[in-house]
Amino acid sequence: MTDFAGLHLRLKDSVERFPDRVAVEEAEGGSVTYRELAALSDQFCNWLTAHGIGAGDRVGLYLPKSIDGVAAILGSLQCGAAYVPVDPLAPASRGAYILSDCAVRVVVVERAFAAALEAELKQLGASPELLVLDAPGGGAALRAALEEVGASREATTCVPVKPTDLAYLLYTSGSTGRPKGVMLTHGNALCFVDWCGDVFSPTELDRFSSHAPFHFDLSILDLFVPLCHGASVVLFGESLGKEPVRLAERIHARGITVWYSAPSILTMLVGQGQLDQYDWSALRMVLFAGEVFPVKHLRALKSLWPAPRYFNLYGPTETNVCTWYEVPYTIPAERTEPYPIGKVCGHYHGRIVDPEGREVSPDSEGELCISGPGVMQGYWNLDEQNRRVFLDVPDGACWYRTGDVVQPDADGNLRFLGRRDRMIKKRGYRVELGEIEAALYRQPDVKEAAVIAESTEEDVRVRAFLSTKSGQRISIIALKQFCIQQLPPYMIPDTFTFLDALPKTSTDKIDYQRLKELV
């Protein structure tokens, strides 16, 4: 496997070819060239190596989107380690759980979050080394921290990796109440990056948006596709996602040529971004993924951004994008049904199975299973779940059960029909309703908790039903305040309903169907 060039070696190739082109920009801040990015990631790699971090280790990132964060990602890969990005806006207890679960040896953390994280890690008996950055942005904070600890500035020789070596661990919502770590390798990531190269034909002149946070799987396309092709990545920070007018202005000002995000951000831009104020001729491609895009909003977006090609990308974190569909140039006025998720990507095989795992007849609905070089290695330290998520078939291939129910249409494009379990998508994020219930059960007065999701074309509303030990209602304000200590903001229930006891089935399980009827 000496010919295999890992993710970081592909980037080195861009550094050699385009040293003075801009590699990464912050939408509201600084930028670095490929040469500067390589120098910073080399210095971080040197610091890691000096601390004995290398192949088989993991490096935690507890940072907002920034050039500092990108350099830390690349430096981690360069020394042979895998990176573990954690949402700094989620409760520190959740972040600490993730970082201790996968036993990171080092965490790069912004100073504002460091004390809370360290206290939570200590409670869990974990004590990774922390590299604390003051206000990440532009790369200056990482550079200053590395200078302070005396990290060598020498150029590094990238550690060779195998396709099966772990590149990153992305934690997603877990049905048992704790997030679970999806293990993805250099080989997994590169087959996806190469597929994107074939389909989207990026060049060094492209300017890709990076809107998704590092812990969200959309960030893999955002970061590695442009950086492997000498293009520029423009990082759009979390706060911009809440300010559609400023976001639109920044997309225009930064000359984005390829935009990629969940549809909910695009819907927000259509409604409140004042997109008609600008010339959008630079924008050549709009990619969206993570949830269904209501046709009326997609149509409205196309009327404001008429020129680009539009692609609907589908895939769970466990496979990254595994089906794709190009939206026609004109959306018929009478169309109300969302566009399909399309056909299986060239580097994958798909099959549709019944609940017993048997392939269904052509044109029938069933669960989509995917095999190919992008399928994850499994979940970190979750052997039982690993046995369940792969199809038990004798063909020797590793078939990942997506849990998504699909059906081919007359053209062979797959239509997404729903889930076979209790996972939902909210604003592009995966949410296991069981994780919300587990958090509610941690509230001392909660006796029973059940959560359902109600989907409309506009949004998904999470509704919690509770009974209490005291028989008294709990203040909803207090419940939401409790939840924000336990869960990321997008997982906090929208409504709470109190019942004397939750309805049960004949086998004494919570009757979710009856709860849905109560809404």
Partner 1 sequence: MNEIEQKIKDYILNEFLPGEDPALLTDSVQLVRGGILDSIATLKLAGFLEEEFHIKLEAHEMSADHLNTIPQIVALVESKQKA
Residues of the shown chain interacting with partner 1 in the complex, contacts defined by CB under 8 A: 239, 241-246, 264, 268, 272, 427, 459, 475-477, 480-481, 483-484, 489-490, 492, 494-498
Which pair of structure tokens corresponds to residue 144?
Answer: 């200053």
Minimum distance, C-beta of residue 90 to partner 1, in the bound complex (Å): 12
Residue 96: helix, strand or coil by DSSP?
helix
Residue 381 or 495: which CB sits closer to partner 1? 495
Residue 172 CA: distances (Å) to CA of 101, 314, 472: 13, 16, 34
Comparing CA positions, the residue from 53, 101, 44, 102 lying closest to residue 74 is: 44
Torsion of CA 370, 222, 411, 335, to 10 degrees: 130
Residue that the structure tokens 């409760």 belong to: 91
Residue 15 or 492: which CB sits closer to partner 1? 492
Minimum distance, C-beta of residue 252 to partner 1, in the bound complex (Å): 14
Which pair of structure tokens corresponds to residue 424?
Answer: 């939902």
Could you tell me the sign of the dihedral formed by the alpha carbons of 173, 177, 178, 183, in that order?
negative
Residue 240 or 344: which CB sits closer to partner 1? 240
Minimum distance, C-beta of residue 239 to partner 1, in the bound complex (Å): 7
What is d(CA 435, CA 117) in angstroms, rounded to the nearest whole number?
21
Minimum distance, C-beta of residue 328 to partner 1, in the bound complex (Å): 29
Minimum distance, C-beta of residue 442 to partner 1, in the bound complex (Å): 15
Residue 292 or 405: which CB sits closer to partner 1? 292
Neighbouring residues of 481: CB distance < 8 A, sequence distance ≥ 6: none
What is d(CA 86, CA 99) in angstroms, rounded to the nearest whole number?
8
Minimum distance, C-beta of residue 475 to partner 1, in the bound complex (Å): 5
Minimum distance, C-beta of residue 499 to partner 1, in the bound complex (Å): 12
Say if CB 175 and CB 422 are below 8 A apart: yes
**φ and ψ of 435, to 5 deg:** -70, -35
Q: Where are the alpha helices (DSSP H) in 18-173?
A: 34-50, 67-78, 92-101, 111-123, 140-148
Residue 75 or 91: which CB sits closer to partner 1? 91
Residue 242 or 506: which CB sits closer to partner 1? 242
Say if CB 102 and CB 130 are below 8 A apart: no
Q: Where are the alpha helices (DSSP H) in 229-317?
A: 244-253, 263-272, 295-304
Minimum distance, C-beta of residue 242 to partner 1, in the bound complex (Å): 4
Amino acid letter, residue 510: I
Residue 100 or 486: which CB sits closer to partner 1? 486
Residue 39 or 484: which CB sits closer to partner 1? 484
Residue 457 or 459: which CB sits closer to partner 1? 459
Minimum distance, C-beta of residue 182 to partner 1, in the bound complex (Å): 25
> 314-342: buried (b, 16+ CB within 10 Å) or exposed (e) per residue?
bbbbbbbbbbbbebeeebeeeeeebbbbb
